[in-house]
Amino acid sequence: EADIYQTPRYLVIGTGKKITLECSQTMGHDKMYWYQQDPGMELHLIHYSYGVNSTEKGDLSSESTVSRIRTEHFPLTLESARPSHTSQYLCATQKGGYNEQFFGPGTRLTVL
Amino acid sequence: SQQGEEDPQALSIQEGENATMNCSYKTSINNLQWYRQNSGRGLVHLILIRSNEREKHSGRLRVTLDTSKKSSSLLITASRAADTASYFCATDGRSGNTPLVFGKGTRLSVIA
């Protein structure tokens, strides 16, 4: 079992709120990713990072930001939550030079 | 986009039967991976096949790759109810330094 932690696991908030989804890992992996996924549907890459102080936008990066100040921590912030943000958010890690990604358990977000 | 497309989108079989899922992609790759996702959880890596390989086995899993047709198949033999999950293929880019691109997934239901 990969040591990737996501908090909170479930979150219900109102429209317009600013929220931060936490992702942390104890594996020392260089690469980290955020995906948005509606239940059972395809994954959409939001942001990714290949190391400290390095972040890149994915296909679905608007209205959100990330930071990578420490190797083990990769938080995702939604500046102003909207009902369209209702989804599951998955964090993943990958060791540099290797292909396999390890996924956290996800955060299920509901915006009312 | 080199996004993979799984086929079928959904598959329902009886326990003990074999399940075959297909994945097509658009651009050249170094390797292709298959992941499994139980409902409401993160993805778990199943198997990786490199572009110079044509077939690979792992337990009840058999993966084939046809780079000329840009397609792969995942066969699960003697399926069990516990195999019920969504299955995703993921491809890398030829440069090796781009994020994985996940397909839309096949939702497999194995009926006991």
SS3 helix, strand, coil % of chain A, rounded to 5?
5, 55, 45
How far apart are the C-alpha atoms of B33 and B50, rounded to whole Å? 9
Residue B2, pLDDT score = 45
The per-residue pLDDT for range A18-44, each reduced to its tens digit, is: 999 999 999 999 999 999 999 878 999
Q: One digit per residue, pLDDT tens: chain B, 112 residues?
A: 446 678 899 999 999 999 999 999 998 899 999 999 999 899 999 999 999 999 999 999 999 999 999 999 999 999 999 999 999 999 987 666 789 999 999 999 999 9
Q: What is the mean pLDDT of residues A76-91?
A: 96
Closest Cα in chain B, distance from residue A61 (Å): 14
CB B45 within 8 A of CB B35: yes
Determine how many CB atoms are found less than 10 A away from the CB of residue A92.
27
Q: What is the mean pLDDT of residues A51-59?
A: 94
| A40/B86 CB distance under 8 A | yes
Nearest to A90 among B42, B48, B103 (CB): B42
How far apart are the C-alpha atoms of B89 and B51, rounded to whole Å? 14
CA-nearest residue to A98 within chain B is: B96
CA-nearest residue to B30 within chain A is: A99
Q: What is the mean pLDDT of residues A66-87?
A: 96
The CA-atom distances, in angstroms, between A99 and each of A5, A10, A34, A110, B44 are: 20, 29, 16, 32, 13
The CA-atom distances, in angstroms, between B55 and each of B61, B62, B66, B67, B103 are: 11, 7, 9, 12, 20
The CA R_g of chain A, rounded to the nearest whole Å, is 13
Closest Cα in chain A, distance from residue B32 (Å): 9
Closest residue by Cα to residue A11 from A102, A81, A109, A87? A109
Query: Range with the lowest mean pLDDT among A54-58, A62-66, B68-72, B81-85?
Result: A62-66
| A101/B43 CB distance under 8 A | yes
Give me the phi and psi of A35, to 5 degrees please.
Answer: -125, 150
| B99/A33 CB distance under 8 A | yes
Q: What is the mean pLDDT of residues A84-100?
A: 93
Residue A96, pLDDT score = 85
* Higher pLDDT among residues A44 and A60, named by residue: A44
Residues of A in contact with B33 (CB under 8 A): 99-100
* Higher pLDDT among residues B97 and A11, named by residue: A11
Residue B9, pLDDT score = 92
* Higher pLDDT among residues A41 and A108, named by residue: A108
Residue A62 has pLDDT above 80, yes or no: no
* Higher pLDDT among residues B97 and A3, named by residue: A3
Residues of A in contact with B109 (CB under 8 A): none
Residues of A in contact with B40 (CB under 8 A): 39, 88, 106, 108
Residue A60, pLDDT score = 83
Give A98's pLDDT tier (boundaries 50, 70, 90): confident
Residues of A in contact with B43 (CB under 8 A): 43, 90, 92, 101, 103
